């Protein structure tokens, strides 16, 4: 049986799969990966953190001697693996690019390209860089870090992680960067761990604003070739500061169809297949499937800016009509929990801090729904990249029609519909969302998806009470108080019925029996690293 490692923010994750041996995803790299200290979310933090050594060697377990890994990923690239799109997580999953910081197994900021940092005051932080080299052979310097962060802040489509902060970077000397925020940002080290803020070499940034990670990252694996939206070839980067990877490279294939991904694993065509559909999970051998509690919540997102659901009473009627618990067994085969809110069991503090929702609009009765929507069709969208979502949409369509709506589905690959979703061309979306992806802190997700100026506000929500609640959470530096305010913001968002949480997913990853060291990450930002290899 393969040995896998868990990157987790919860104790529950350690028991995600009873038939595997769990090791920390931050302990097996050639360099020490467990922190010497943890970064607390306090506004006056002054401590610095550093790993105990700079790198490893091939002497550890024969590192650097393995063969190539074959990996099947689910969502094809949207923008040629630009870090400013959802493609950023691919760069993280495959250990191509790194930020100044990373998240450890507890969701705490850990050293990455920055070996240490200190907070000077509420808005100023200083980061000391480790000695590292870009995959094009140039050195990582303070100037190159400033360049990368400046480019991210000036991007035409700003990364979601920067949606609620104004960041200024300055090179103090060759190895020291000072970052200043317009207002206090107590979670800045967490923010810098976002895959969207990976540091690439200056050659990655073209004058036309495009960004290419091909041969420009700092991680243990270097992209050598990207073939459209179907394949990528990665080789081991022997100049990696953390020591040579155990695998010699990675051959990536994007397979949008979940059944095809499962078949590729069963047939021996790939060694790792992510996001195995629940209908296929039981068809895999028990020793090739790994169940991972996920911070992913599936919801029905309603378009509040135009169309049918601009009417709050119709949104409330849709919320009352929808029963997410019906999806747990019928669609997800038991690999999900009924949703209690935006945050589920993989975010254990949420349940203890949840705030009762009040002030919702009265729901339109069935007769009123039919009268208000007469001659109008509810355009229900979802995407094929996750096999369960079209099935869920069919169940939800039946529930909504019973409540008086006339429903028509539009089901396509996500990359084909993202622009239309953001433009508000649908009434509702069956949506699967990782709630702690960008920073490991929920505020960035709430800000990007539900604030009036959010860059990923598919619901088109503009609500002053929501904006104030999210802003209050973002300004809070005390950990417990921050979480309390996050849950108050969740209640304000749910009050609007702009989103109806359905289920909290459990992810099934397919891993061949001859593979060791795969990262099982509830945040879905890690998969393969320097320690992942074939036996």
**Tell me: the pLDDT tens digits for 190-216?**
999 999 999 999 999 999 999 999 999
Per the DSSP assignment, residues forming a β-bridge with 504 are 297, 337
294-505: which CATH number, 3.10.105.10, 3.40.50.300, 3.40.630.10, 1.10.3720.10?
3.10.105.10
For 97-120, what is each residue's pLDDT tens digit? 999 999 887 778 999 999 999 999
How far apart (Å, rounded) are the C-alpha atoms in residues 314 and 365? 9
Predicted TM-score (pTM) of this structure: 0.70
Q: Determine which of 102-116, 130-144, 250-264, 495-509 has the lowest per-residue pLDDT on average.
A: 102-116
Q: What is the pLDDT of residue 66?
A: 76
For the chain, residues classed under CATH 3.10.105.10 are: 294-505
> In the chain, what percentage of residues exceed pLDDT 90?
74
How high is the pLDDT of residue 437?
65
Q: What is the pLDDT of residues 438-495, one digit of tens each?
A: 778 898 899 999 999 998 999 999 999 999 999 999 888 887 899 999 999 999 999 9
Token digits for 16? 């995600």
pLDDT at 419 over 70: yes
Q: What is the pLDDT of residue 165?
A: 86
CATH 3.40.190.10 residue ranges of the chain are: 4-271+512-534
What is the average pLDDT across 1-25?
32
Torsion of CA 465, 469, 474, 478, to 10 degrees: 160
**Average pLDDT value for the chain:** 87
Instruction: Give the separation between CA 255 and CA 260, rounded to whole angstroms.
Output: 7
Residue with the bigger pLDDT between 34 and 309: it is: 309
| Distant-in-sequence, close-in-space partners of 178: CB < 8 Å, separation ≥ 6 | 120, 124, 125, 126, 127, 169, 170, 172
Distance between CA atoms of 308 and 317, rounded to whole angstroms? 11
Q: pLDDT confidence of 292, banded at 50, 70, 90? A: confident
What is 4-271+512-534's CATH number? 3.40.190.10
pLDDT tens-digit readout, 259-277? 999 999 999 999 999 999 8
Over residues 500-511, the mean pLDDT reads 96
Task: Give residues with Cβ within 8 angstroms of 458, minimum separation 6.
Answer: 301, 303, 421, 422, 429, 431, 449
pLDDT of residue 496: 98
pLDDT tens for each residue of 16-44: 222 222 333 333 333 333 322 232 222 32
Query: Residue 327: which pLDDT band, with cuts at 50, 70 and 90?
Result: very high
Q: How confident is the model at residue 158 (pLDDT cuts 50, 70, 90)?
A: confident
- Give pLDDT, residue 47: 31
Is the Cβ–Cβ distance between 23 and 297 less than 8 Å? no
Model confidence pLDDT, tens digit, residues 61-90: 334 457 999 999 999 998 999 999 989 999
CA distance 445 to 437: 8
């Amino acid at each position: 049986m393969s040995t896998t490692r868990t990157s987790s923010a919860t104790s529950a994750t350690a028991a995600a799969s009873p038939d595997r041996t769990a090791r920390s995803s931050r302990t097996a790299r050639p360099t020490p990966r467990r922190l010497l200290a943890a970064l607390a979310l306090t506004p006056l933090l002054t401590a610095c953190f550093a790993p105990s050594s700079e790198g490893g060697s091939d002497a550890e377990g024969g590192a650097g001697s393995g063969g190539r890994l074959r990996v099947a990923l689910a969502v094809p690239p949207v923008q040629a693996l630009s870090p400013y799109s959802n493609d950023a997580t691919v760069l993280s999953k495959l250990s191509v690019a790194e930020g100044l910081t990373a998240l450890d197994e507890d969701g705490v900021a850990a050293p990455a390209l920055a070996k240490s940092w200190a907070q000077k005051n509420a808005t100023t932080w200083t980061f000391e860089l480790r000695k590292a080299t870009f995959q094009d052979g140039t050195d990582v310097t303070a100037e190159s870090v400033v360049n990368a962060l400046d480019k991210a802040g000036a991007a035409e489509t700003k990364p979601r992680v920067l949606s609620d902060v104004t960041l200024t970077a300055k090179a103090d000397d060759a190895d020291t960067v000072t970052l200043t925020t317009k207002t206090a940002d107590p979670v800045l080290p967490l923010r810098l761990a976002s895959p969207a803020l990976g540091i690439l070499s200056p050659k990655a940034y073209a004058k036309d604003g495009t960004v290419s990670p091909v041969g420009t990252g700092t991680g243990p694996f270097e992209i050598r070739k990207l073939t459209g939206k179907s394949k990528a070839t990665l080789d081991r980067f022997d100049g990696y500061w953390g020591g040579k990877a155990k695998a010699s490279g990675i051959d990536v294939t994007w397979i949008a169809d979940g059944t095809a991904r499962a078949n590729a694993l069963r047939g021996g065509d790939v060694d790792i297949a992510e996001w195995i559909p629940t209908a296929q999970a039981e068809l895999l051998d028990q020793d090739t499937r790994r169940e991972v509690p996920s911070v992913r919540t599936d919801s029905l997102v309603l378009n509040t800016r135009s169309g049918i659901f601009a009417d709050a009473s119709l949104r409330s009627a849709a919320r009352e009509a929808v029963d997410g618990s019906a999806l747990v067994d019928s669609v997800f085969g038991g690999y999900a929990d009924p949703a209690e809110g935006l945050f589920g069991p993989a975010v254990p503090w949420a349940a203890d801090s949840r705030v009762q929702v009040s002030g919702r609009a009265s729901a339109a009765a069935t007769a009123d729904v039919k009268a208000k929507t007469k001659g109008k069709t509810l355009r229900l969208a979802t995407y094929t990249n996750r096999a369960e979502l079209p099935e869920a949409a069919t169940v939800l369509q039946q529930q909504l029609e019973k409540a008086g709506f006339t429903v028509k589905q539009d089901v396509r690959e996500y990359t084909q519909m993202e622009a239309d979703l953001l433009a508000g061309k649908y009434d509702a979306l069956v949506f699967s969302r990782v709630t702690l992806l960008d920073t490991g802190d929920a505020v960035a997700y709430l800000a990007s998806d539900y604030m009036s100026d959010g860059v990923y506000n598919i619901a088109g929500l503009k609500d002053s009470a929501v904006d104030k609640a999210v802003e209050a959470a973002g300004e809070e530096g005390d950990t417990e108080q921050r979480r309390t305010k996050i849950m108050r913001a969740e209640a304000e968002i749910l009050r609007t019925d702009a989103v109806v949480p359905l289920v909290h997913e459990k992810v099934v990853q397919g891993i061949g029996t001859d593979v060791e060291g795969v990262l099982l990450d509830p945040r879905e930002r890690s998969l393969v690293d320097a320690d992942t290899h074939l036996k």
